[in-house]
Amino acid sequence: MGHYQANLRDIEFMLFEVLKRDQILGSGRYAEVDADTARSLLREVEHLATTTLADAFVVGDRTPPVYDPANHSVTMPQEFAKAFHAYTEGGWPDLDLTTELGGTPVPPSIRWAVAEMVLGANPAVHLYSTGPAFARLVYELGTDEQKQWAQVWAQKRWGATMVLTEPDAGSDVGAGRTSAVRQPDGSWHINGVKRFITSGEHDMTDNIMHLVLARPEGAGPGTKGLSLFIVPKFHVDWSTGELLKRNGVYATNVEHKMGLKASATCELTFGERKPAVGWLVGDEHDGIAQMFKVIEYARMLVGSKAIATLSAGYLNALEYTKTRVQGPDLTRASDKTAPRVTVINHPDVRRSLMTQKAYSEGLRALMLYAASVQDSVEVKEATGEDASLDHALNDLLLPIVKGYGSEKSYGLLAESLQCFGGSGYLQDYPIEQYIRDAKIDTLYEGTTAIQGLDLFFRKMVKDDFRAVTALGQEIASVAMSGRDELVRERQLLGAALQDVQAMITAMTRFAQASAQSPEQIYRAGLNTTRLLFAVGDVVVAWLLLRQATVALNALDDAAQPDQDFYRGKVVAAQWFCRQVLPHVTAERAVLEATDLDAMTLPESAF
């Protein structure tokens, strides 16, 4: 049996009992996918994830892809490639495709629930299989001719990459120097070096379609001067889908990483050996806005990967603590004849497990709630309704899913490992690989610091606080009324919500003061990550309380056969509210008292 355990019961609980996704299934845009079909999809991918995908998880780490510098190729481990093909040939990446691309519309909430199980079992498999999702984006952004390309691309299930980062630019995308020179036939020659390109080279698909940010000759500096280009690994006869000669983009290195080794992270060089021919996406030079469509997908993916890994870590730890016998019960610690008990009976282990459970299930709820907002966007746009607020809410949630989700998941995986004691440090158990594989989630597609800056300055201030105000109103409604059994927790939620609102007010004041004293902006910058975490805690608490309310309603039926599951939901919400939310008050006090000492201190004093 593989390392991975899917928490399908919790996924279905959030989807169907809390978010009521069955209400949008089987009609309108999703007429061909009813609730029974969705449940069947989830069961099928659970089986694939816990067997074929999970079985290839370790081999990708122990025998990672092999790079041949002579021909710039990457050869994948055979067992990993077998798992990848089982996933793609089963049509699972096609869930991202619209009718125009040969797919059947499936709500984002179901798609991301499927993704969670794949990402938890073998994340690199999902990373290599994003070609159809990127084809969909090109179909939405491209010219009429490029829409036809996207159809071929999706049908062939070719690989795809997002190519932003450069060695000297890093997160400062606007500092990129990769150039694009227009040719008489309307194509462009791309020249430059990019690094940290996920799935940049491999031998599992016939072609790889690179989406590349480059600066056309004569374009201005910064991000506004960038354009987005399609650069295929092999040229294509788009009328037949036949592959032609090799294009001038080559992998010139594969990074040696601490984790996620099955994913070939490449340096790509364009135009060094021969022209790297690309085509401008769409008719306008609007690269950064177009690429942000790809980035938004990637950030949701990264957050979901992190959350999926925490769930797997928690369930492995839980299983171990139920079987590992060590020490007497604490109530009989002085009794030398007392029987030994399983470690789940020790109070600190219970503390650790409850914390992991609450965050694991709360973060899953956050991810699926964000996906349900994406459902709303699709449904409203299909019927011509105004989806602007839903778009803004999704934008607000993405840095929380990605930044907060990845940081909390990575930190709590250490708790999962701790439950194993010294055994967890060994490769006999999967936790040590989880931790190595998960660290990247806090770094790529924008580090946590960038997510915090994005949340405050773009998703709050630039939005004129519209989405965060609407979300706050929903949270307040749960805090103000509900089941009597949760009155204490609702009070804690209300207090934490007020603290977060005060934190936003203080940071806005810091930002406004910078108009007169520019250094005051540092006071906001010193607290953006703090705000990100506080908002995340409040949103997760809110979602856990929504779950607890549904669970209590279910427990009102004495004949309810799933009593322990629902009791666990109630206690997880209570634990989180009581153990986590009081810290938000302290974080508010720290934020409001922020001074500039850290910024005025000379570098030599650090």
Q: Which CATH number fits the domain that encloses residue 188?
A: 2.40.110.20
* CATH number of the domain where residue 554 is located: 1.20.140
What pLDDT, on a 0 to 100 scale, did the predictor assign at position 574?
98
CA distance linking residue 490 with residue 504, whole number of Å: 21
Which stretches of the chain score pLDDT less than 70? 1
Question: What is the pTM for the complete model shown?
Answer: 0.97
Considering 404, 429, 464, which residue would you say is the last residue of a domain? 464
Say if residues 172 and 200 touch (Cβ distance below 8 Å). Answer: no
Q: What residues contact 357, with CB distance under 8 A and at least 6 apart?
A: 314, 318, 568, 572
Domain that holds residue 489: 482-599
Chain-centroid distance of CA 547 in Å reads: 22
Alpha helices by DSSP H, 384-465: 388-399, 405-418, 431-438, 448-453
Nearest to 466 by CA among 389, 391, 369, 531: 389
137 in any annotated domain: no
Question: Which tokens is 62 given?
Answer: 């122990």
The beta strand positions in 293-430, using DSSP E, are 325-328, 340-342
**How far is residue 249's CA from residue 243's CA, in Å, rounded to a whole number?**
15
3-state secondary structure 556-580: CCCCCCCHHHHHHHHHHHHHHHHHC
Do 420 and 564 fall into the same domain? no
Q: Is the dihedral of CA 470, 474, 479, 480 positive or negative?
A: positive
Rounded alpha-carbon distances, angstroms, from residue 531 to 369, 502, 507, 522: 20, 11, 9, 14
Q: Which of 263, 285, 307 is the last residue of a domain?
A: 285
Tokens 């770094």 appear where?
443
Quote the CA–CA distance of 132 and 353 in Å, as a whole number.
Answer: 38
Residues 281 and 418 in one domain: no
The number of residues in the chain equals: 606
Clarify whether residues 120 and 35 are in a common domain. yes
Is there a catalytic annotation at residue 445?
Answer: yes
How far is it, in rounded angstroms, from Cα 409 to Cα 493?
Answer: 22
Single-letter code of the amino acid located at 343: V
The CATH number given to whatever domain includes residue 434 is 1.20.140.10
The reply to whether 2 falls in a domain is: yes
Residue 275 Cα distances to 230, 248, 402, angstroms: 14, 5, 36
- In a domain, residue 477? The reply is no
CA dihedral 520, 522, 524, 527 (to 10 degrees): -140
Residues 443 and 303: their CA atoms lie apart, in Å, by 11
Query: Does residue 300 share a domain with residue 444?
Result: yes
Burial label for 215, CB within 10 Å (0-12, 13-18, 19+), is: buried
Domain-located, residue 388: yes
Q: Please tell me what DSSP assigns to residue 339.
A: P
Cα distance between residue 351 and residue 330, in whole Å: 14
Rounded to whole angstroms, the Cα distance separating 453 from 531 reads: 10
CA distance 227 to 289: 9
- Ramachandran region, residue 147 (left: φ > 0; alpha: ψ -120 to 50; beta: rest): alpha
pLDDT in tens, 521-576: 999 999 999 999 999 999 999 999 999 999 999 999 989 899 999 999 999 999 99
The secondary structure element, H or E, covering residue 266 is strand 265-270
Q: Which of 437, 464, 491 is the last residue of a domain?
A: 464
pLDDT at 1: 60
Q: What is the gyration radius of the CA atoms in the chain, in angstroms?
A: 25
The reported pLDDT for the residue numbered 169 is 83
Distance of CA 267 to the CA centre of its chain: 23
Looking up tokens 């459970």, which residue turns up? 357
Q: Kindly name the residue from 166, 445, 489, 587 that is annotated as catalytic.
A: 445
Specify the pairing of strand 188-198 against strand 179-182: antiparallel
Place of tokens 């969670």: 116
> Which pLDDT score, from 0 to 100, does residue 172 have?
86
Residues 415 and 487 in one domain: no
Residue 150 belongs to some domain of the structure: no
Which CATH number goes with the domain that contains 33?
Answer: 1.10.540
Is residue 31 within 8 Å of residue 380, measured between CB atoms?
Answer: no
Give the bridge partners for 161, in sequence order: 210
Residue 161 one-letter amino acid: T
What is the CB-side half-sphere exposure of residue 28 using CA atoms within 13 A? 15
Work out whether the CA dihedral 431, 433, 435, 438 comes out positive or negative. Answer: negative
| Contact assessment for residue 327 and residue 340, using Cβ atoms and an 8 Å cutoff | yes
Q: How far apart are CA 34 and CA 214, in angstroms?
A: 43
Residue 146 domain-assigned (yes or no): no
Is 148 a member of any domain? no
Non-local (6+) Cβ contacts of 435 within 8 A are 259, 410, 413, 414, 417
* Dihedral sign computed on CA atoms, order 216, 217, 218, 223: positive
Residue 405 shares a structural domain with residue 293 = yes
In the chain, how many domains are there?
A: 4
- 254 and 125 together in one domain: no
Domain co-membership, 391 together with 406: yes
124 with 194, same domain? no
Domain identity same for 420 and 438: yes
φ/ψ (deg, to 5) at 31: -60, -30
What is the token pair recorded at 212? 């590349």
Q: How far is Cα 311 from Cα 305, in angstroms, rounded to an integer?
A: 10
Question: Distance between CA atoms of 306 and 283, rounded to whole angstroms?
Answer: 36
Residue 336 lies in a domain: yes
Question: Cα–Cα distance between 387 and 389 in angstroms, integer?
Answer: 6
What are the tokens at 220? 């201005």
Do residues 454 and 534 share a domain? no
Write the Ramachandran bin of 309: left for phi over 0, alpha for psi from -120 to 50, otherwise beta: alpha
Q: Which residues contact 276 (CB under 8 A, 6 or more apart)?
A: 189, 190, 191, 231, 247, 248, 249, 270
Instruction: Count how many Cα atoms sit within 13 Å of the Cα of residue 337 in the half-sphere of its side chain.
Output: 0
Residues 301 and 413 in one domain: yes
Q: Residue 44 and residue 47: Cα distance in Å, rounded?
A: 5
